[in-house]
Chain A
Amino acid sequence: MNDHLVQQQPAAIQNAASAEAQRLVDSAVGHHVTGPEYWRSIEHYSQSSEVQKLIDEEFAGYDPKSLLTTSRRRFMQFMGASFALAGLTLTGCRRWPRETLAPFSGAPKDRTPGVPESFATVFEMGGVGVGVLAEAFDGRPIKIEGNPEHADSLGAAGAFEQASILELYDPDRSKVVIDQTSGKAAVSTREQFVDTLVANIKAGNIAVLSESLGGPTADALRAQAVAAGVKWYEYEPVSRDNESAGLALALGKRYRPVLNLEAADVAVFLDCDPLMRHPARLRYARQWSARRRTADAEGVMSRVYVAETTYTNTGAVADVRIPVRPARIAALAHAIGKALGSKAAIDMALADEAEKNFVAQVVADLQSAQGKAVVAAGLQQPPEVHALVASINEQLKAPGSTLSYLPVSEHEAGRPTHLESIKSLAADIKSGAVKSLIIIGGNPAFDAPADLDLAKAIASVPYSARLGLYYDETSKVCKWHAPRAHYLEAWGDSRGWDGSISLAQPIIEPLYNGWSAIELMALLGGASGVSGYDLVRKTAQSYIDKLQFERVWKRSLHDGVVAKSARDAQQVRVGPMKLTQPAAAPAEFDITFLSDASMYDGRHANSGWLQELPDPITKMTWDNPALISKSDADRAGIKTGDIINIKVAGRSLDIAAYIAPGQAKGAVTLLLGYGRTASGHIGTDTGFNTYSLRTAAGMDATTGTISVTGRDYLLAMTQDHFLLDEIGFDAREQRAGSKGHSGRIVREGTLAEYAEHLKSPDGKTTKPGFVSGEEEEDRSLALQLFDQRVYEARHAWGMTIDMNACIGCMACVVACQAENNIPVVGKEQVNKNREMHWLRIDRYYKSAPGRGDNVGPNDPNPQIVFMPLMCVHCENAPCEQVCPVAATMHDSEGLNTMVYNRCIGTRYCSNNCPYKVRRFNYLDWQSKDPRGFAKPWLGIPDDQQEQSISKIKQMVFNPDVTVRMRGVMEKCTYCVQRIHNVKIRKRNLTPGGIEQIIDGDIVTACQQTCPTNAIIFGDLKDTSAEVVRGQQSPRAYPVLEDLNTRPRTLHLAKLRNAPVTAAASHEA
Chain B
Amino acid sequence: MSTLTTPILADLSTGAGKEPDNTFEDLRERAPLVLGGRDFTAVTDAVTNIPLGKTPRAWYVAFAMSVSLLGVFGAMIGYLVTTGVGVWGNNQPCSWGFGIVNFVFWVGIGHAGTLISAILFLFRQNWRTGINRFAEAMTIFAVVCAGTFPGIHVGRPWLAYFLFPIPNQMDMWPQFRSPLLWDVFAVGTYATVSTLFWYVGMVPDIATIRDRSTKRLPQIVYGILSLGWTGSSRHWHRFEKAYLLLAALATPLVLSVHSVVSFDFATAQVPGWHTTIFPPYFVAGAVFGGFAMVLTLAVPAREWFGLKDIITMRHIENMCKVLLATGLIVGYSYCTEFFTAWYSGSANEMFVFKNRVFGPYSWAFCTMFFCNVIAPQFFWVKKFRTNIWIIMAVAMCANVGMWFERFVIIVTSLTRDFMPSAWGAFHPTMVDLATLAGSFGLFFTLFLLFCRFLPMVAMAEVRTVMPAAHALGDHADDDEDAEAAHDRRRFDYQPDEARGKKRKKRVD
Contacts and interface: CB of A to CB of B under 8 A. Distances in A.
B179 interface: yes
A905 B154 contact: yes
B267 interface: yes
A884 B180 contact: yes
B421 A744 contact: no
Nearest to A969: B155
Given A920-B95, A934-B83, A934-B84, A904 B163 contact: yes
A882 B179 contact: yes
A936 interface: yes
Contacts of B420: 720, 728, 731-732, 735-736, 745, 844
A905 B419 contact: no
B82 A966 contact: no
A832 B159 contact: no
B424 interface: yes
Interface in A931-950: 934-938, 941
Interface stretch (A664-672, A908-916, A952-960): A908-916
A921 to B, nearest CB: 7
B339 interface: no
Given A907-B155, A923-B86, A934-B84, A886 B355 contact: no
Given A886-B172, A908-B178, A922 B417 contact: no
Interface in B132-183: 150, 153-156, 158-160, 162-163, 172-175, 177-181
A883 interface: yes
B93 A904 contact: no
Interface string A885-906: 1100000000000000011111
Contacts of A833: 91-94, 424-425
Contacts of A878: 268-269
Interface in B58-83: 79, 82-83
Contacts of B91: 832-834, 922
A898 B351 CA distance: 31
Interface string B406-422: 00000000101111111
Contacts of B180: 882, 884, 906, 908
Contact of B178 (A882, A907, A921): A882
A719 B155 CA distance: 25
B153 to A, nearest CB: 8
A869 interface: yes
B90 A907 contact: yes
A157 interface: no
Contact of A904 (B92, B155, B267): B155
Interface in B90-114: 90-96
A1054 to B, nearest CB: 15
A878 B172 CA distance: 21
A720 B163 CA distance: 35
Interface string A104-143: 0000000000000000000000000000000000000000
Interface in B413-462: 414, 416-425, 427
A38 B150 CA distance: 59
Contacts of B82: 936-938
Nearest to B423: A720
Nearest to A914: B418
A923 B83 contact: yes
B245 to A, nearest CB: 31
B156 to A, nearest CB: 4
Contacts of B175: 883-886
B92 A884 contact: no
B358 interface: yes
A682 interface: no
A832 B95 CA distance: 11
A179 B424 CA distance: 50
Interface residues of A, number: 62
A708 B179 CA distance: 53
A727 B358 contact: yes
Contacts of A834: 86, 91-92
Interface in B223-281: 264, 267-270
* Overall SS of chain B's interface: loop
B89 interface: yes
Nearest to B429: A832
B416 A731 contact: yes
B382 interface: no
A632 interface: no
A375 B245 CA distance: 88
Nearest to A933: B83
B154 A904 contact: yes
B27 interface: no
A885 B347 contact: no
A427 B208 CA distance: 102
B42 interface: no
Contacts of A171: none
A842 interface: yes
Interface in A965-995: 965-969
Contacts of B159: 904
Interface in B340-395: 347, 351, 354-355, 358-360
B85 interface: yes
B322 interface: no
Contacts of A935: 83
B80 to A, nearest CB: 10
B184 interface: yes
Given A884-B184, A967-B155, A911 B351 contact: no
Contact of A906 (B154, B268, B414, B419): B154
A918 B92 contact: yes
Given A886-B172, A941-B156, A912 B84 contact: no
Nearest to B413: A911
Most buried by B among A727, A833, A934, A941: A833
Nearest to B93: A916
Contacts of B160: 904
Contacts of B425: 833
A17 interface: no
Contacts of A911: 93, 95-96, 268, 270, 414
A161 interface: no
Contacts of B360: 725, 728
Given A904-B159, A914-B269, A920-B155, A934 B86 contact: yes
A74 B258 CA distance: 89
A968 B355 contact: no
A186 interface: no
A969 to B, nearest CB: 8
A865 to B, nearest CB: 11
Interface string A1019-1057: 000000000000000000000100100000000000000
A842 B419 contact: yes
A934 B175 CA distance: 32
Contact of B84 (A843, A904, A910, A921): A921
Most buried by A among B153, B155, B159, B351: B155
Interface string A721-756: 000010110011011100000001100000000000
Given A881-B177, A911-B268, A967-B85, A904 B95 contact: no
Contacts of A934: 83-84, 86-87
A914 B417 contact: yes
Nearest to A936: B82
B489 to A, nearest CB: 57
Sorted nearest first, the 10 A-B pairs with minimum C-beta distance are: A905-B155, A967-B155, A922-B86, A916-B422, A923-B86, A842-B421, A907-B95, A967-B156, A732-B420, A886-B175
Interface of A: 719-720, 725, 727-728, 731-732, 734-736, 744-745, 829, 832-834, 840, 842-844, 867, 869, 878, 881-886, 902-908, 910-912, 914-916, 918-924, 934-938, 941, 965-969, 1040, 1043
27 contacts: A725-B359, A727-B351, A731-B347, A731-B416, A734-B351, A736-B420, A833-B94, A840-B421, A842-B419, A884-B175, A884-B178, A885-B163, A886-B174, A886-B175, A902-B172, A908-B268, A910-B93, A912-B269, A914-B419, A916-B92, A921-B84, A934-B87, A936-B79, A966-B86, A1040-B418, A1040-B419, A1043-B418
